[in-house]
Structure 1
Amino acid sequence: MNPTQQLHELGQSLWLDNITRPLIDSGALARYITQYSITGLTSNPTIFEHAIGKSDAYDEAIARGSAKGQTGEALFFDLAIADLRRAADLFRPTFDATDGMDGWVSLEVSPLLAHDAQGTVAAAKHLHQLADRPNLFIKIPGTPEGVVAIEESIFAGAPVNVTLLFSAAQYQASAEAYLRGIERRIAAGLDTKVRSVASLFVSRWDVAANKTLPEPLHNRLGIAVAAQTYRAYRELLASSRWHRLAADGAQVQRLLWASTGTKDPAAPDTLYVEALAAPDTINTLPEKTLFALSDHGKVQQHLRNDGGDADATVTACREAGVDVDALAEQLQREGAASFSQSWSKLLENLQAKAKPLGRTSQP
């Protein structure tokens, strides 16, 4: 059995960490669904910045949008939503077959709103309505301000993919926000079936920590943090609070592994995928990692509910000089800043493409 199918049988969904218009036009995304058991995808500002800035695939659409007076964010969201609607339609059979548990695509709010709770809530509502697809998540960062926006967006009925989580504590804060949003919907007599996922970024831990750690601890901290987070996830699902909400029809906020491509050339290219095999989770993979998994990946074990040796590994990293708590906060700040930089480049690319295209489109 193909390793991708093995993970599917284990209870882990595989989503693609990429979207481009040629990926859809060429039929490659449809092929990934059948060949690699892909049941969803994610996007972010960096993905779209590369997709739009480094190809001519969007040039005609940019010209049409510019001719209608669209600029900046409005033009970008028009382009992105067009792609994501098509992708959402490809995943709609999976969405329907799993009663909404799987088959999702994701669109991120402007990263410039990472520290603006009310602005994020307004943007989430607007984009959810604009996309007009039941299987499209709105991505909201798990920053302190984002946590406020997550609760409000869930209460408003907008499905949320919480992004930029880097620790069990950050995950727990986002999970609490989701639970509060659902509890408020119950109190208001509203439908409890508002889906959410919580995305923990993994490999960036090791990119940062390997500089300080001795070689035997290289590429172990990210997996250990993920294992601690998985333990917190299983504890939440076993809690009486969750059981009460589930009895009222609430759906679990699934844990998603993000940033699972191996960054260290000395490490196996399937390192994080194999280590993070776990039931009731999602792994979102870059294409390179997906192909590697299918070619030579091995699914031999899965994460333990109790976290296994994660605490011992984290303690060893602390003793070796890594301030794990401070690094979690740093990684979240840097992640938000990186997406903001990509967002600025994206808008610059749109402006640069729109000017000459706009002139040539004039009579």
Structure 2
Amino acid sequence: MNRTVELHDLGQSLWLDNISRQILDDGTLRRYIDEFSITGLTSNPTIFQQALANTSAYDASLRTHSASQLSGEATFIELALEDLRRAADLFQPIFEETRGVDGWVSMEVSPLLARDTQGSIDAARRIHRQAARPNLHVKIPGTAEGVPAIEEAIIAGVPINVTLLFSPKHYEAAAEAYLRGIERRIALGLDPKIRSVASLFISRWDKAVLDKVPTDLHNRLGIAVGAQAYRSYRTILASPRWKRLEAAGAVPQRLLWASTGTKDPTARDTLYVEAFAVPDTIDTMPEKTLHAFADHGELGRASVEDIEAADALIREFAGRGIDVDDLAAALQKEGAEAFVTSWNKLMQQIEDKQHILAASV
């Protein structure tokens, strides 16, 4: 049996951390659904920037949108949604079969809004309306300014993927925003079934400390932090507060493991997928990691469930001068800045291509 099928049968959802017009046009995404049990996908500005960088697949659409004289951002949103609607339609049968648990795609608000609460709320509503697909999450970063935007978006009925979460505290803040949003919907007499996922980034922890700790601690911090967040996740789902919401018809905000491709070339390339192979969660993985796990991944190594070991490891890292809260804040800031860099490159690529295409007419 394909190892990805085994992971799916364990109760974990496998989503692809990639989107491009090429994998839609050549049937690759369809094959991943059929052969690798892929049941959703995620995207971000970096993924789209790379997708547009070295292909002519978007040229026809760029010509059309150039004629409409749309801004660079508006053009990008149209291009991205063209791809994401197609992907959403491929996942629609899964979405219906699982009653909304799976079958999702994600579109991120502009990373320039990471510190703009009202701007994020407005953008989330616009993207949700413009996408016109029930199985599209809008991604909002879990920054201090993003958290209230998440709550308001949930109240407005917008499915949200909370991105750029790094620590248990980040996750708990995102979960609290979701719970408050659902509670307020119930108080208003609105349907509480608004889907959300909370995306915890893993491998960037280990890249950040690779040169600061001895080799026996390499590639262990991300798993330990993830284990602590997983404990928070299970605690929330077992709480009386959540049980009351569930009884009223609410559905859980699912925990999603992001950045699960290893960045250390000396590490096992399926390390994080194996460590986080637990039911009732999602693993979104890049294509390279997906193929690696399908080829030689192993189950039975879900170290994320060993909470006591995780707590001990965090204490050991603290003894080495690694402050988890400080590093989480730095990683979130760096992640937001990296998306801004990709966004700016993306806007420039769109402008450059439009000029080239206009000159070739």
The interval holding the TM-score normalised by the smaller chain is over 0.9
Other structure's SS at 1:252 match: coil
Which residue pairs with 1:136 in the alignment? 136
- Asked whether the 8 Å contact 1:11–1:280 carries over to 2, the reply is yes
Q: Does the C-alpha gap of structure 1 residues 261 and 304 become closer, same or farther in structure 2, counting only changes over 3 Å?
A: closer
- Asked whether the 8 Å contact 2:224–2:304 carries over to 1, the reply is no
User: What does 1:188-337 correspond to in 2, within 5 Å?
Assistant: 188-303=188-303, 307-337=307-337
Other structure's SS at 1:309 match: helix
Other structure's SS at 1:107 match: strand
CA distance, structure 1, for counterparts of residue 67 and residue 81 of structure 2? 18
Q: Which amino acid aligns with 2:35?
A: Q
| 1:54 positional shift | 2.0
- Asked whether the 8 Å contact 2:276–2:304 carries over to 1, the reply is no
Which residue pairs with 2:107 in the alignment? 107
- Bigger mean CA offset, 295-304 vs 252-261: 295-304
The superposition leaves residues 295-342 of structure 1 with CA deviations (integer Å, 9 ceiling, x where unpaired) of 000011435656241110111111112121100000000000000000
- Asked whether the 8 Å contact 2:258–2:284 carries over to 1, the reply is yes
- Asked whether the 8 Å contact 2:21–2:58 carries over to 1, the reply is yes
Which residue pairs with 2:48 in the alignment? 48
Q: Which amino acid aligns with 1:185?
A: R
| 1:107 positional shift | 0.1
CA distance, structure 2, for counterparts of residue 185 and residue 323 of structure 1? 37
The superposition leaves residues 174-219 of structure 1 with CA deviations (integer Å, 9 ceiling, x where unpaired) of 0000000000000000000100000000000000011111110000
Other structure's SS at 1:40 match: strand
Other structure's SS at 1:103 match: coil
- Asked whether the 8 Å contact 1:231–1:306 carries over to 2, the reply is no
* Backbone CA RMSD of aligned residues: 0.9
Identity of aligned residues (%): 61
The superposition leaves residues 53-97 of structure 1 with CA deviations (integer Å, 9 ceiling, x where unpaired) of 221111121111101212310000000000000000000000000
- Asked whether the 8 Å contact 1:42–1:284 carries over to 2, the reply is yes
Q: How many residues align?
A: 361
Which residue pairs with 1:173 in the alignment? 173
CA distance, structure 2, for counterparts of residue 14 and residue 162 of structure 1? 17
Q: Which amino acid aligns with 2:267?
A: A
CA distance, structure 1, for counterparts of residue 75 and residue 44 of structure 2? 16
Where structure 1 has 5 or more consecutive residues not aligned to the other structure, the ranges are: none
CA distance, structure 2, for counterparts of residue 68 and residue 244 of structure 1? 50
CA distance, structure 2, for counterparts of residue 287 and residue 305 of structure 1? 26
CA distance, structure 2, for counterparts of residue 109 and residue 155 of structure 1? 17
User: What does 1:60-75 correspond to in 2, within 5 Å?
Assistant: 60-75=60-75
Other structure's SS at 2:199 match: strand
| 1:10 positional shift | 1.2
Normalising to structure 2: TM-score of the pair?
A: 0.99
- Asked whether the 8 Å contact 1:125–1:158 carries over to 2, the reply is yes
| 1:271 positional shift | 0.5
- Asked whether the 8 Å contact 1:128–1:138 carries over to 2, the reply is yes
CA distance, structure 1, for counterparts of residue 54 and residue 114 of structure 2? 26
- Asked whether the 8 Å contact 1:92–1:135 carries over to 2, the reply is yes
Which residue pairs with 1:356 in the alignment? 356
The superposition leaves residues 125-170 of structure 1 with CA deviations (integer Å, 9 ceiling, x where unpaired) of 0000000000000000000100010000000000000000000000
- Asked whether the 8 Å contact 1:166–1:328 carries over to 2, the reply is yes
Q: Which amino acid aligns with 1:181?
A: G
User: What does 1:6-21 correspond to in 2, within 5 Å?
Assistant: 6-21=6-21
- Asked whether the 8 Å contact 1:278–1:303 carries over to 2, the reply is no
- Asked whether the 8 Å contact 1:21–1:83 carries over to 2, the reply is yes
CA distance, structure 2, for counterparts of residue 54 and residue 313 of structure 1? 42
Where structure 2 has 5 or more consecutive residues not aligned to the other structure, the ranges are: none
- Bigger mean CA offset, 61-70 vs 338-347: 61-70
Q: Which amino acid aligns with 2:215?
A: E
- Asked whether the 8 Å contact 1:199–1:257 carries over to 2, the reply is yes
- Bigger mean CA offset, 187-196 vs 48-57: 48-57
CA distance, structure 2, for counterparts of residue 211 and residue 57 of structure 1? 40
Q: Which amino acid aligns with 1:254?
A: R
Other structure's SS at 2:24 match: helix
| 1:360 positional shift | 2.9
Which residue pairs with 2:125 in the alignment? 125
Which residue pairs with 2:86 in the alignment? 86
Which residue pairs with 1:96 in the alignment? 96
